[in-house]
Amino acid sequence: MTDESPLGYDQARWTDDEDTYEPLLSEKNTESVAVDSALPDDLTRDELELPNLSEPELARHYTRLSEMNYGVDSGPFPLGSCTMKYNPKFTEDVAAVADASVHPDRSERSTQGTLELQYELQQYLGVIGGMDAVTLQPPAGAAGEFAGILIARAYHESRDDDRSEVVIPDSAHGTNFASAALAGYDVVTLPSGEDGRVDLEALEAALTEDTAALMLTNPNTLGLFERDITEISEMVHDAGGLLYYDGANLNALLGHGRPGDMGFDIMHYNVHKTFATPHGGGGPGAGPVGVVEELAEFLPDPHVRESDGGYELYAPENSIGKVHGYQGNWLVAVKAYAYIARLGDEGLADASAKAVLNANYLAEMVDYEVPFGPFHHEFVASAGEQDAADVAKRMLDYGVHPPTTKWPEIVGEALMTEPTEIENKRTLDQLAAAFNAARADDIETLEAAPERTAARRIDQVSAARDPRLSWQALDDE
């Protein structure tokens, strides 16, 4: 444990006398603007009410909103396993250069620089993952999963091999189950062994002539490396299936191990976590997919390759088709490329080593029970008799974002924690102090938390079942 005292946290709350939050732009000041349109009259309005604000007013509005929110720029964000990692600003600068703004309908001859960067990123990712070919087209990790399973299905169909099942460990990310089901497969859930890893006897019983693939995360969501990965690979391949790698935890292996060398046939890369591109907020993402040579013919169309001293787009012979427009979210790929190029081999390996070190250090410092271990990039503690969701809300009062809660379910009242490589010892001690302060709080305090944030305790069930997706919905009450 740590003797560090937790920091108190008082988040800004911009309200008026009636406890109404920062007004909308349209509520501050508006101006009627005449509309002149060539569209039919029944499709247009004569005028629009639009916000009319000075630049200082606009800047202050968004600054105030940011002060009432918590983000990775505010403080530590140990949200395992789909991590919110700090995005270095230089990648945003690279993506913002004028030459990066290339319309995807321009000719190949006039976009050789764009195609070259895409090709080099494909090569970088291939080397990092031990894959022979990579597509950049999928727009997110989950989309990459789905594309990878479609590739697996296309492979089996090309061999007239009718397989109907995908095996997935019970600790896997929920998107694994969804991707397999969406691709038309029946899901066979694989129970974990007592050590939190794949139970080889259970795997042997699950594998049949109907097995299309085993989807596996290594290290898994408990932060544990699958020590029997070579044997697991042999078992799956002997059954005629493919081994799929969920790249959510690849940041634990960079420069130290490659999925391809472990026997994986297909993988997706979570570039938001491994290579620090933006994540969340509904904006564009990327989930590149890598495959071994035997599966390259099934990659999405189009794909980039070298041609006559330059680069071109082509359709792989038995492509699964498009999974996203053009070659994917181009500017996200630029950010991933910039991150990899700047860190290089030594930098990526160092980032991985620090991610592992940070997770193990923090696991030793918290007062909660931490089953299993030693860990790679993350660990799962148990809140025990406390409610994990209450602990998470209380940690906000101590100035840190909470970990993922209640999952994986094989740990009771789970607190799934991943500090990543970006945090130093001072911040890790701050995190540990917040954990330990919450551990010492009484039940009444936990159930009332958070008390110092802009938004107080939220009814999560009602928010999920009755979402308010626009500000107009508040006026409809």
pLDDT digits (tens, 9 = 90+) for 371-425: 998 999 999 999 999 999 999 999 999 999 999 999 998 999 999 999 999 999 9
Q: What is the pLDDT of residue 472?
A: 65
Same domain, residue pair 252 and 315: yes
Report the distance separating Cα 351 and Cα 315, nearest Å. 36
pLDDT in tens, 308-322: 889 999 999 999 999
Instruction: Compute how many other C-beta atoms are within 10 angstroms of the C-beta atom of residue 449.
Output: 23
Same domain, residue pair 59 and 124: no
Considering Cα of 193, then 199, then 202, then 206, what sign does the dihedral take?
Answer: positive
Binning pLDDT at 50, 70 and 90, where does residue 476 land? low
Beta bridge partners of 246: 268
Q: Show the DSSP H helices in 130-228 as ranges.
A: 141-158, 174-182, 200-206
What's the Rg (C-alpha) of the chain?
25
Report the distance separating Cα 382 and Cα 419, nearest Å. 17
Q: Indicate the length of the chain as a whole number.
A: 477
Three-state SS at 284: coil
Same domain, residue pair 46 and 122: no
Residues 231-258, mean pLDDT to the nearest whole number? 97
pTM beyond 0.85: the answer is yes
Same domain, residue pair 206 and 248: yes
Domain limits for position 195: 90-342
Same domain, residue pair 30 and 156: no
For 327, which DSSP code? T
Residue 126 resides in a domain: yes
Report the distance separating Cα 430 and Cα 450, nearest Å. 18
For 357, the enclosing helix (H) or strand (E) is helix 330-365
- Which of 8-12, 126-130, 134-138, 444-448 is the least confident region? 8-12
Same domain, residue pair 151 and 202: yes
pLDDT in tens, 87-135: 899 999 999 999 898 998 999 999 999 999 999 999 999 999 999 999 9
Residue 151 resides in a domain: yes
Residues 57-82, mean pLDDT to the nearest whole number? 90
Same domain, residue pair 157 and 299: yes
Same domain, residue pair 106 and 34: no
Which CATH number characterizes residue 129's domain?
Answer: 3.40.640.10
How many domains are contained in the chain?
2
Same domain, residue pair 40 and 172: no
Q: What is the pLDDT of residue 81?
A: 83
Average pLDDT, the chain: 93
pLDDT in tens, 28-54: 999 999 988 889 988 998 888 899 999
Structure tokens at 476: 């409809």
Residue 5 resides in a domain: no
Report the distance separating Cα 477 and Cα 455, nearest Å. 20
Residues 240-258, mean pLDDT to the nearest whole number? 96
Three-state SS at 370: coil
Give the number of C-alpha atoms closer than 13 A to the C-alpha of residue 467, restricted to the C-beta side: 3
Same domain, residue pair 258 and 131: yes
For 435, the enclosing helix (H) or strand (E) is helix 425-440
